[in-house]
Each structure stands twice: as C-alpha cells, then as structure tokens.
C-alpha cells in the first residue's frame, strides 16, 4: 500500500513529497491542472505566460537562499533584473528578486519531476479506518494510503480534515486574505524600461511587466495586476458576475500608464480567495504520529513561498 498521499502540489506539497520520496512511496493529488498552487503560471499562447500568483522570491534564511541559488545554477531560476519602481516609498532592505526560468511554479516542477502525481484530482473527503486512510475524490475514485499530508490553505484543510484535527490546530486564528489578479496582453504597445511597479493606491497595488522577465520575445506586452487586500475583500465574492470590479482595476492601470484599452487582446481575472495570512502561528508544521496525519503549508509561518518550504522541511524532520 502507498505510504504517503499528499494533498496539494504547491511549494509545501512538492517539497514534502520530494523529501519523503527518498524513503517512502508517495502520490501527490492536486485539484488544479498543473503543479504550483499559488505559485502557478498561466499560459496565454505558445510560450507567453503570466505569473498570476507568486511574483518573486526574496529568501531570508540561509538554507532557503542556498536552495534557490542551487536552482539558479541548475538553470531553473534566475534573478529578475530591471527597474522595480516602488511608489509606496516603504523603507525596505534591498534584496534580490528570484523568479523561475520558465515560470514561478519552478520549485514544484523541480521537486515533483520523479514523483507520482495526479492533477484535476480534487479530494472530497478523507476517512481513517484505524488501519489506513481512504481518500475519496470528487470524481468518485478512492485512494488508500498509510499516511496522509494536507498542504492546502487553512480553511480548505479544516474542511477536509476538520474532524481529525486537535483543537489546538483547528482553533488557530489564521485569516487568509483574498486577492484579485488580472492578466492583460496588449497588442503592439511600446515596451517600457520597467519590470514592476508597486503602487500607493487603495485598489491597484502591483503591476508586473512579464516581458521584463526575458522568458519570451514578443511585440505583445503582458502585464499582471494585483489588487489590494481591502479592495479584494469587497469584491472577491462577486467579481465573476459583476465586471465592474475588473473594469475598475483595468481603468486604474490604463490611467497610470497611458496604455490604450482598444489594444487589449487578452484579459483574464483570477480571484484568490485564500491568498495569504499576514500573521503566522506558534507552529511550523503538524504531525500526528498516531493517526499518521500531517500538515504543512505557508500559513503556519507566514505569507511567503519560503515559509511553505520551511514548513515542509520541518514536517519532514518530525516524520523521520
């Protein structure tokens, strides 16, 4: 029987999957179409794509920096150069911005190369029959495993595993904030000497010029726009039906940059209901040896890819 079933192929799921696969059999399930979770990359056409979740990685810890630098050596990651404008004028340490060579889902892709994984496999329920776990998918399929690890955002973890979680876990105060992201491609607009813009605005807080990542060469200009948390909170439940929200953020961008609306050739809006939690928890991960149930994810520590990676490494140590 399978040793570990892992729910989620984001940074934490792929990291723990890779670490456990050195010793155990592992199968990763993800409801999405491909790996990466909130670090996904969306293709527009051929090699033109948007990083619509994670924008860049700026490692803080020595271990994570070493890992990312190693991926740079392997040509999986690189530094995002160019002009990063910050109109918030927040005082911050200047740190390097690392991105994936082909997309910001590079960590998941790298770690899961040799691991068994199934996409479009949404887990509906899990059941512990005292001997093993029965994992039921939305499509009616069942998977059995000796141990299970969940790596989803906190609300989704509670929904799936709630009845198996100790109170100290289910009672954690983890508020995962929303974000609305818009991907835009403009036809034949002039290229700009800018890589990203951080706005001091209540609605639009970030714009990334995808062309500046030098992953493709195109006369089309691709931009990823991200909203403020406060604005996303008001619009996350109705942005699909009510196009006013999408139009507001696009108009803001057009006014700020002078780009023309009639040059838009591609537009896609993605609502992240659980984008990140601003505060972490006292734990780094969770392992229930008796039930053989584990949890790791960014939300244990805080809202960054690095924290998802650290949480998975912490869980791997607990399991060993």
Ligand X SMILES: Cc1cc2nc3c(=O)[nH]c(=O)nc-3n(C[C@H](O)[C@H](O)[C@H](O)COP(=O)(O)OP(=O)(O)OC[C@H]3O[C@@H](n4cnc5c(N)ncnc54)[C@H](O)[C@@H]3O)c2cc1C
Q: Residue 8 — left, alpha, or beta (φ > 0 → left; ψ -120 to 50 → alpha)?
A: left
Residue 183 binds to ligand X (criterion: CB under 6 A): no
Residue 207 binds to ligand X (criterion: CB under 6 A): no
Residue 303 binds to ligand X (criterion: CB under 6 A): yes
What letter would DSSP give residue 57?
B
148 with 4: CB under 8 angstroms? yes
Residue 176 binds to ligand X (criterion: CB under 6 A): no
φ, ψ for residue 131, nearest 5 deg: -110, -40
| Contact range with ligand X by CB under 6 A, out of 54-62, 84-92, 188-196, 251-259 | 54-62
3-state secondary structure of 40: coil
Which residues, including other chains, have CB under 8 Å from residue 294's CB and lie 6 or more apart? Answer: 16, 147, 148, 149, 150, 285, 286, 287, 288, 315, 318, 319
**Count of residues in contact with ligand X, rule CB under 6 A:** 38
Residue 313 binds to ligand X (criterion: CB under 6 A): no
Residue 245 binds to ligand X (criterion: CB under 6 A): no
Residue 212 binds to ligand X (criterion: CB under 6 A): no
Residue 143 binds to ligand X (criterion: CB under 6 A): no
Compute the least distance from the CB of residue 160 to ligand X, in Å.
6
Compute the least distance from the CB of residue 271 to ligand X, in Å.
10
Residue 152 binds to ligand X (criterion: CB under 6 A): yes
Q: Which of 265, 316, 256, 258 is nearest to 287 (CA)?
A: 316
Measured CA to CA in angstroms, residue 174 lies from 24, 159, 216 at distances of 31, 14, 38
The single residue among 20, 26, 54, 250 that binds ligand X, judged by CB under 6 A, is: 54
Residue 9 binds to ligand X (criterion: CB under 6 A): yes
> For residues 29 and 185, which CB has a smaller minimum distance to ligand X in the complex?
29
Residue 305 binds to ligand X (criterion: CB under 6 A): yes
| Contact range with ligand X by CB under 6 A, out of 34-42, 140-148, 185-193, 217-225 | 34-42
How many other C-beta atoms are found inside a 10 Å radius of the C-beta of residue 248? 15
| Contact range with ligand X by CB under 6 A, out of 4-12, 17-25, 164-172, 238-246 | 4-12
As to burial, measured by CB atoms within 10 angstroms (0-12 exposed, 13-18 middle, 19+ buried), residue 266 is middle
3-state secondary structure of 285: coil
Binding site for ligand X (CB under 6 A): 7-13, 29-32, 37-39, 53-57, 122-123, 151-153, 156, 160, 179, 181, 226, 272, 275-276, 297-298, 303-305, 308
């Amino acid at each position: 029987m399978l040793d570990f079933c892992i729910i989620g192929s984001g940074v934490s799921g792929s990291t723990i999957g890779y670490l456990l696969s050195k010793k155990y059999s592992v199968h990763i399930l993800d409801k999405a179409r491909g790996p990466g979770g909130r670090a996904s990359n969306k293709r527009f056409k051929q090699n033109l794509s948007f990083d619509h979740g994670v924008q860049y990685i700026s490692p803080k810890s020595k271990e994570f920096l070493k890992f990312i630098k190693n991926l740079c050596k392997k040509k999986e990651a690189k530094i995002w150069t160019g002009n990063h404008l910050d109109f918030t004028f927040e005082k911050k340490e200047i740190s390097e911005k690392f991105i994936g060579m082909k997309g910001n889902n590079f960590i998941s892709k790298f770690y899961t190369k040799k691991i068994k994984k199934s996409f479009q496999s949404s887990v509906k329920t899990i059941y512990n029959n005292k001997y093993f776990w029965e994992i039921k998918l939305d499509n009616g399929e069942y998977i059995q495993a000796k141990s299970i690890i969940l790596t989803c955002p906190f609300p989704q973890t509670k929904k799936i595993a709630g009845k198996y979680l100790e109170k100290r876990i289910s009672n954690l105060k983890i508020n995962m904030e929303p974000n609305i992201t818009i991907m835009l491609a403009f036809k034949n607009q002039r290229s700009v000497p800018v890589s990203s813009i951080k706005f001091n605005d209540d609605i639009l807080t970030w714009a990334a010029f995808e062309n500046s990542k030098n992953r493709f060469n195109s006369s089309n200009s691709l931009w990823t726009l991200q909203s403020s948390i406060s604005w996303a909170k008001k619009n996350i439940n109705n942005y699909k039906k009510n196009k006013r929200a999408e139009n507001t953020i696009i108009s803001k961008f057009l006014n700020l940059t002078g780009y023309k609306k009639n040059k838009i050739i591609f537009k896609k809006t993605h609502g992240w209901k659980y984008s990140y939690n601003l505060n972490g928890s006292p734990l780094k991960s969770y392992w229930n040896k008796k039930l053989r149930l584990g949890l790791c994810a960014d939300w244990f520590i805080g809202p960054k890819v690095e924290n998802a990676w650290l949480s998975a490494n912490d869980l791997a140590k607990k399991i060993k």
